[in-house]
Chain A
Amino acid sequence: MSKSIKYKLISALSITIFLLIWEIATDVLHIKPSFVLPSPIKVFHVLIVKMTSTSPDGSTLPIHILASLKVALLGFLSGAIVGSPLGILMAWNKKVDMAVRPVFDLLRTIPPIGWIPIMILLLGIGTQAKVAVIFLCSFIPCLINSYTGIKQTSQIHLWTGQIFGATNMQLLRKIAIPTALPFVFTGLRVSLSISWMTLVAAELLAATKGVGYMMQIARTIGRADIIVLGMLVIAVLGSVLFMVLEFVEKKFVKGWF
């Protein structure tokens, strides 16, 4: 017990020292000019200012965050809703597998960021293009993982089910899907992190709102404090999304076993 407290103290100390060095290097010693490396106090200050101020990019921070979250969640959820069941179906039914696989293998090889320009050309720089890109990139890991999950089902369990007269549907619902569920959630986690990353890339390239757009504007006018703020916001939001997903996973996966 005392040992864990000691390590927690060390952790607290290390982050304080890190922030102190950062502060001393910027505000006291001025190693780099503030448009290159802002001090932590300045970042905190700009966080408060950005809550209500719309300069320099036309929206306040909460609006940027809402815009990013909306796009990311729309794309991620639609990808998950299409991808996971399709993966299950592909693993369960050989015909579906054969029909979908070649198209899927073709889609899979192109990294999500490669889709951004063509989607922007096709759908414009609004929400649609970004949702489409995120849909494509979140759909792929969901599909692969739920496919692998169903394939992990033990043949013995299936045979047992068959002996007791379970129908095909029952085998899938009572045996295969519970086995696959942890894999499905792994897929969701992977696709959430890819979605979040792709969203930032898409907003850096073309957008009118969103945290990535805020950072891009800040870069062009040399406001490093806003860039660092944007990075921190992205990190915090990403972690929060992950926590929510983990919470859901605990609820669901516990219920099955």
Chain B
Amino acid sequence: MSKILSNEKVQNIIWGTAGLLFVLIIWQLSVAFTTMGRVIPGPFEVFKSLFSYIFKPMGKYTLIGHTLVSLTRVLVGFTLSAVCGIILGIGMGCSEKINAIVRPIFHMVRPIPGVAWIPIAILWLGIGEEAKIFIIFMGGFAQVVLNTMDGARRVDPTLLGAARMLGANKRQEFFKIVLPYSVPYIFAGLQISLSTSWMAVLAAEMVSSYKGSGWIIITGMNNGDTVQILIGMISIGVVGLMIAFIMRIIERLLCSWRIQGQ
């Protein structure tokens, strides 16, 4: 069995690299032999300047500096929205009263995507860090609330009944049953909200900023510098992959009991 598995893995890697090479070759050929070359630089040029910008500043910071700026913004905004979202979501899921009070306002705000908050956030908070964190917060918040609420609502009533019968008080009920039961749901919500946050920060930086990954792309566009746009896109892609990878590891750590059960 293990032999078959490893064989499949090897095959996947081979096909993966072949596909990647294929894309790069097509890219290079189309740049070299068609009119595409006037608009888009070849892969060699892009990767060469990608590596040079790791040490050479682009605007104010190096490529890594810009990426870190964006990541910090995402982390602050995402943490805020996760904490507030989980608290509100559990409140709405556990108590009908809180749900009735918050629901109409929440459903008015929820369908507004984070990106749509950009203009008003700039008017309210300027183009500094606060505006960006606010945009990320608004972008990620709703999804966390929805998922947490869903998780808290789906708690198995038999479990709650059993706990009550064995004499658990409200607090124990909450910390021993409701909270662990909703962790997988909360986590699914966090994952979605993290990827929306990452998108929202890019959009916010594109509309107005002077540093960050989105700034790299938009400055490239304004200067007609396609190399810079592509560098920005590649670095964003790499960061996105890393975030997804880290989240998967954390999920495995936090929800291991659920994965084993499946």
Query: Could you list which residues of chain A lie within 8 angstroms of chain B, going by C-beta atoms?
Result: 3, 7-8, 10-12, 14-15, 18, 35-37, 98-99, 101-103, 105-106, 109-118, 120-122, 193, 196-198, 200-201, 204-205, 212, 215-216, 218-219, 222, 224, 227-228, 230-232, 234-236, 238-239, 242
Contact = CB atoms under 8 A, between A and B. Distances in A.
Interface residues of B, number: 59
Interface string B58-73: 0000000000000000
B83 interface: no
Contact of B119 (A10, A117, A198, A215): A215
Among A118, A193, A238, A242, find the residue whose CB has the most chain B CB atoms closer than 10 A. Answer: A118
Contacts of A201: 115, 199, 203, 206
A7 B96 contact: yes
B16 interface: yes
Given A11-B101, A102-B23, A117-B206, A219 B119 contact: yes
Interface stretch (B150-158, B164-172, B221-229, B248-256): B221-229
B118 A204 contact: yes
B77 to A, nearest CB: 16
Interface in B76-101: 96-97, 99-101
Contact of A102 (B15, B123, B224): B15
B230 interface: yes
A18 B232 contact: no
B245 to A, nearest CB: 11
B4 to A, nearest CB: 15
A121 B111 contact: no
Nearest to A226: B119
29 contacts: A3-B96, A7-B100, A11-B101, A14-B104, A101-B19, A102-B20, A102-B22, A103-B22, A111-B195, A111-B236, A113-B202, A113-B206, A113-B214, A114-B217, A114-B232, A117-B206, A118-B229, A118-B233, A204-B119, A205-B207, A219-B119, A227-B120, A230-B116, A230-B119, A231-B112, A232-B112, A234-B111, A234-B113, A235-B116
Contacts of B113: 193, 196-197, 200, 234, 238
A11 B104 contact: yes
B187 interface: no
B39 A110 contact: no
Given A114-B232, A200-B116, A18 B105 contact: yes
B237 interface: yes
B104 A219 contact: no
Contact of B111 (A117, A219, A227, A238): A238
Nearest to A240: B111
A224 B119 CA distance: 9
B100 A14 contact: yes
A121 B223 CA distance: 11
Given A106-B23, A224-B123, A235 B111 contact: yes
Contacts of B241: 109
Contacts of A196: 113
B199 A112 contact: yes
Given A106-B19, A121-B226, 14 more contacts: A105-B19, A113-B202, A114-B217, A117-B206, A118-B226, A121-B224, A200-B115, A200-B116, A227-B123, A231-B112, A234-B113, A234-B116, A235-B108, A238-B112
Contacts of B196: 197
B180 interface: no
**What are the 6 A-B residue pairs with the smallest beta carbon separation, nearest first?**
A102-B19, A117-B221, A109-B237, A197-B113, A219-B119, A7-B100
Contact of B198 (A7, A106, A111): A111
B175 interface: no
B16 A204 contact: no
Contacts of A197: 113-116, 196, 199
Interface string B14-55: 011111101100000000000000011000000000000000
Among B96, B195, B221, find the residue whose CB has the most chain A CB atoms closer than 10 A. Answer: B221
B102 interface: yes
Contact of A10 (B18, B101, B199): B101
B160 interface: no
Nearest to A241: B111
Contacts of B1: none
Given A102-B18, A111-B198, A11 B229 contact: no
B218 interface: yes
A11 B103 contact: yes
B5 interface: no
